[in-house]
Amino acid sequence: MLPISVLFSDDALLVVDKPAGTLSIPDRYDPELPVAQSMLREEWGNLFVVHRLDKDTSGVLVYARNVDAHRALSESFERRSVAKVYQALVRGAPEWDETVCELPLRPDGDKLHRTVVDAQHGKSSATSFKVLERYKDCALVEARPSSGRTHQIRVHLASFGHPCLCDPIYGDGKPLMLSKLKKRWKGDPFDERPLLARSALHALCASFPHPVSGEIMTFEAPLPKDMRAAIAQLDKL
């Protein structure tokens, strides 16, 4: 299990770079999965959840360290005074350079407990997208959500026909393999490891008012090794 890097800490908050494969909080369906909140508790004490990242989403994750900070941070998230930036590798080549998706979303909307687009019963949702780079059969996209619905970015991307690479819920779930990208790949198929094997979504940056001082603070988590390695190979094609 990859270590959890601390980006910032003080008496009010703890900001970390959560690795993919780690839960933000315990999962009632699989109590054996590693949980960032529990892993950090020994050193940082009791932590209050302000927001969540999906298990396979890496990047900036914020915890409050006391009740007052939790209340203030939660209000900031509810008032949408938190600016978040994500980066995703998506399937296919978007025809647009920039666009906004405002499809309403309803969590736990089908038998697979997925979030679904629901014009009648869904909650208002909005995500701005920008293509940063196009590759062979995929693209690097920036996402800026202005609401915080469950799986919002993943569902909005999938609704465009461009789900996150390797997304097992809203995409095809197939790992990104170099042998599938390079026509003259000469490696051993039995020893080949995926370039990327988890949903390719990273919480790059978050800006919000400090819960005590009110000062706007910005935190950034660099792209993790697996996404950097995938992009490096895609750049060569």
Q: How confident is residue 1, by pLDDT bands cut at 50, 70 and 90?
A: low
Helix H, strand E, coil C: the string for the chain is CCCCEEEEECCCEEEEEECCCCECCCCCCCCCCCEHHHHHHHHHCCCEECCCCCCCCEEEEEEECCHHHHHHHHHHHHCCCCEEEEEEEEECCCCCCEEEECCCEECCCCCCCCCEECCCCCECCCEEEEEEEEECCEEEEEEEECCCCCCHHHHHHHHCCCCECCCCCCCCCCCECHHHHCCCCCCCCCCCCCCECCCCEEEEEEEEECCCCCCEEEEECCCCHHHHHHHHHHHHC
110 is catalytic: no
Could you tell me which residue, 178 or 12, shows the higher pLDDT?
12
> Quick one: which of 84, 81, 50, 78 has its CA closest to 66?
50
> Quick one: which of 176, 173, 181 has its CA closest to 193?
176
- The residue annotated as part of the active site, out of 17, 54, 56, 167, is 54
8 Å CB contact between 188 and 164: no
Residues 36-48 have pLDDT tens digits of 999 999 899 999 9
Q: What's the CA gap between 186 and 90, in Å, rounded?
A: 26
Whole-model pTM: value is 0.94
Contacts of 172 (CB under 8 A, 6+ apart): 91, 163
In the block, tokens 């309803």 appear at: 106
Q: What's the CA gap between 101 and 15, in Å, rounded?
A: 28
Residues 96-150 have pLDDT tens digits of 999 999 999 999 989 988 999 999 999 999 999 999 999 988 999 999 999 999 9
8 Å CB contact between 1 and 19: yes
CATH numbers and ranges of domains, the chain: 5-236 (3.30.2350.10)
Strand duo 5-9 + 13-18: pairing? antiparallel
Residues 45-84 have pLDDT tens digits of 999 999 999 999 999 999 999 999 999 999 999 888 899 9
